[in-house]
Amino acid sequence: MVNFEINDCHKKTIKEICESFGNRRSELINILHRSQEHFGFLPEPVQLEIALNLNMPLAKIYGVVSFYSFFTMTPKGKHPISVCMGTACYVRGAEKIVEALEKELKIKVGQVTEDGKFSLDCLRCIGACGLAPVMMVGDVVHGRLEPEMIKDIISKYE
């Protein structure tokens, strides 16, 4: 579990986000999106603060956070890497790309490197099937990958 100390400044931000959606419970997913954009992830103290603002149980919020794959309770690396595991990428060898990344970064899928530079995840189809297999580093799409190209691509990120 990641330690996250919540301070008054954080609380103020969360209050503002909730207010911008009229403190409506039906806007919970939009509030979570906005909060994750701001904090990078959704640790328990942030969820609790949202619960207080919307006057709803923390368990309900945790239920929603844990349901959707887009929400995360652990922080991502500075350069989050997502390998597409859509069918088109899978049949064109996405698994080998994941293996190469795991070997190069010395982490498993779902983990962050010790220096916090990279995190590795899989996602389902970004719709660039013409370039399969593909991965995203941050917002940049790298396509037509071969396992041998991984080392080079990674070395370009500081």
Partner 1 sequence: MYKMQLLVCGGTGCRASASATIVEKLNESLKAHGLTEDAQVVTTGCFGFCEKGPIVKVIPDNTFYTQVRPEDAEEIVAEHILKGRKVARLLYENPETQEHVSDSRHMGFYQKQMRIALRNCGVIDPENIDEYIAREGYSALAQVISDLTPEQAIDMVKQSGLRGRGGAGFPTGLKWEITSKFSSDQKYVVCNADEGDPGAFMDRSILEGDPNTIIEAMAICGYCIGASKGLVYIRAEYPLAIKRLQIAINQAREYGLLGDKILGTNFSFDMELRYGAGAFVCGEETALIASMEGKRGEPRFKPPFPAEDGYLHKPTNVNNVETFANVPVIFLKGPEWFSSIGTEKSKGTKVFALAGKINNVGLIEVPMGITLREIIYEIGGGIKNGKKFKAVQTGGPSGGCLTEKHLDTAIDFDSLVAAGSMMGSGGMIVMDEDDCMVSIAKFYLEFIVEESCGKCTPCRVGNKRMLEILEKICQGKGNMEDLDHLRNLAYVIKDTSLCGLGQTSPNPILSTLENFNDEYIAHVKDKRCYAKQCKALARYTIIPEVCTGCTVCARNCPVEAITGERRQPHFINQDICIHCGVCYTKCKFNAILVQ
Looking at the DSSP bridge assignments, the partners of residue 82 are 121, 136
On the CB side of 47, CA atoms within 13 Å amount to: 19
Burial zone of 31 (CB within 10 Å; 0-12 exposed, 13-18 middle, 19+ buried):
buried
Instruction: Report residue 110 as tokens.
Output: 């779902």
Applying CB under 8 A, the residues found at the interface with partner 1 are 24-30, 32-33, 63-64, 67-71, 85-88, 90-92, 123-132, 134, 140-143
Radius of gyration of the chain (CA): 18
Nearer to partner 1, 77 or 86 (CB): 86
Nearer to partner 1, 48 or 123 (CB): 123
Nearer to partner 1, 71 or 157 (CB): 71
Quote the least distance from Cβ 130 to partner 1, whole Å. 3
Nearer to partner 1, 20 or 69 (CB): 69
Quote the least distance from Cβ 82 to partner 1, whole Å. 9
